[in-house]
C-alpha cells in the first residue's frame, strides 16, 4: 500500500511537461493519492492528468478568485483536501538597481501575494475538516539561506512566503493543519535546461554541495512525500532537500564567472 493511500492532493504549478510540479504529482499518484494538477495552461494539464489518472484545474495563483475556485473544485470533486502544494515561482535574475517597478510588482504578486491567496484558500477548506486538517507546502529556495548575487527581489519574496508558512503553522495547528516550506537549490529541469548547457556553470556549484551533487526534482518530491505522510510530525519548518548547500553557501558571481571563463577557454583550446 502506498504512503498516501486514501489521501487527496492538489499540486499547483504542474502545467509544464516534466517540471517539478509534475514530478511531485506523479510520485504522489504512484503512492496512492488522488491528485488534482493545476496551472495556467489547459492542454498540458489535461494530458498529464490523463496520464496519472487524476483531475485538473485552471488556476493563476495571482488571481484570488481562481485560487479559491481551485480549492473549492478539489473539495467538491474529492470530498476533502488532504494535501495542497504550491510549486510556482519566477527565477528573476536582476540586480537590485536594475529591477524595474513592473518586475517588482510581478514577482510580489506571484511569490508573496499569490502564496497568501493559496494558503488562505486551503486553510479555509482544510479548516472545515478539523481536527484532521491537512498538509500545506510551498516551495521556496535554498537561496534564502545561501545567498546568491542578483536575486534580491526573488529572495525577498521567497523569504516572505516562508514567513507566511510559519504563521499558518502557528495559527492553525489546532485544526490539524501542517504547513511547511521545501527549499530546492539549483535543479536541472525544463525551466533551467538552458542554464545547464552553459559550460562550467554546474562546475561552479557542485563543490558547494557536501553530498557531492546537485539535488534533483525527485529529491524534492520525496521530501514533500514524507512531509505529507502520516509519519511526519512536523510543522512550520523549512526542509532543505538540497545536499547541504546551505552549509557552504552558493557560489557568488565572481566564482561563476571564473568557472565559466575557464570552461570556455578550455573549449577554445580544444
On average, the pLDDT of the chain sits at: 95
Are residues 2 and 31 in contact, defined by beta-carbon separation less than 8 angstroms?
Answer: yes
pLDDT for position 56: 98
In 3-state terms, what secondary structure has residue 88? Answer: coil
Per-domain residue ranges for the chain?
8-191+214-246
Q: How far apart are CA 29 and CA 114, in angstroms?
A: 25
- CA 115/CA 89 separation, integer angstroms: 10
Q: What's the pTM value of the predicted model, to 2 decimals? A: 0.96
Which pLDDT score, from 0 to 100, does residue 261 have? 86
Average pLDDT over residues 157-166: 98
Residue where the block lists cell 485552471 = 58
pLDDT per residue over 74-126, tens digit each? 999 999 999 999 999 999 999 999 999 999 999 999 999 999 999 999 999 99
The topology under which CATH files domain 8-191+214-246 is Rossmann fold (3.40.50)
Handedness of CA 3, 74, 187, 245 (dihedral sign): negative
Residue range 139-156: average pLDDT?
A: 98
* Lowest mean pLDDT, pick from 18-27, 78-87, 186-195, 260-269: 186-195
> Using an 8 Å Cβ cutoff, are 243 and 216 in contact?
no
* H or E element that contains 217: helix 217-228
**Once rounded to an integer, what is the mean pLDDT over residues 185-190?**
83
pLDDT, tens digit (0-9, with 9 covering 90-100), for 17-43: 999 999 999 999 999 999 999 999 999
Sign of CA dihedral 136, 218, 94, 17: negative
Q: What is the mean pLDDT of residues 135-163?
A: 98
Give the integer Cα–Cα distance in Å for 249 and 208. Answer: 6
Q: Which three cell numbers stand for residue 73?
A: 473544485
C-alpha cell at 10: 492538489
Q: Among candidates 166, 169, 198, 204, which has minimal Cα distance to 185?
A: 204
Q: What pLDDT is recorded for position 193?
A: 66
Report d(CA 145, CA 126) in Å as an integer. Answer: 30
- How far apart CA 93 and CA 76 sit, in angstroms, is 39
Provide the pLDDT for residue 265: 83
Amino acid at each position: 500500500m502506498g504512503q498516501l493511500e486514501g489521501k487527496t492532493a492538489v499540486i499547483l504549478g504542474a502545467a509544464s511537461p516534466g517540471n517539478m510540479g509534475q514530478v511531485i504529482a506523479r510520485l504522489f499518484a504512484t503512492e496512492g493519492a488522488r491528485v488534482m494538477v493545476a496551472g495556467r495552461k489547459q492542454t498540458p494539464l489535461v494530458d498529464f492528468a490523463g496520464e496519472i489518472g487524476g483531475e485538473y484545474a485552471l488556476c493563476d495563483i495571482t488571481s484570488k478568485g481562481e485560487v479559491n475556485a481551485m480549492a473549492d473544485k478539489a473539495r467538491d470533486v474529492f470530498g476533502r483536501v488532504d494535501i495542497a502544494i504550491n510549486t510556482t515561482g519566477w527565477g528573476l535574475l536582476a540586480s537590485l538597481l536594475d529591477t524595474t517597478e513592473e518586475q517588482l510588482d510581478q514577482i510580489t504578486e506571484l511569490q508573496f501575494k499569490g502564496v497568501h491567496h493559496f494558503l488562505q484558500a486551503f486553510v479555509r477548506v482544510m479548516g472545515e475538516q478539523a481536527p484532521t486538517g491537512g498538509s500545506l507546502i510551498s516551495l521556496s529556495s535554498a537561496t534564502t539561506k545561501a545567498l546568491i548575487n542578483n536575486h534580491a527581489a526573488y529572495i525577498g519574496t521567497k523569504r516572505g512566503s516562508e514567513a507566511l508558512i510559519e504563521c499558518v503553522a502557528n495559527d492553525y495547528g489546532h485544526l490539524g493543519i501542517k504547513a511547511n516550506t521545501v527549499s530546492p537549490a539549483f535543479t536541472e529541469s525544463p525551466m533551467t535546461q538552458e542554464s545547464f548547457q552553459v559550460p562550467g556553470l554546474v562546475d561552479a556549484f557542485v563543490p558547494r554541495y557536501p553530498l557531492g551533487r546537485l539535488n534533483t526534482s525527485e529529491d524534492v518530491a520525496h521530501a514533500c512525500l514524507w512531509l505529507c505522510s502520516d509519519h511526519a510530525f512536523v510543522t512550520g519548518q523549512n526542509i532543505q532537500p538540497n545536499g547541504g548547500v546551505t552549509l557552504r553557501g552558493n557560489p557568488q558571481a565572481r566564482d561563476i564567472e571564473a568557472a565559466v571563463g575557464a570552461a570556455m577557454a578550455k573549449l577554445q583550446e580544444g
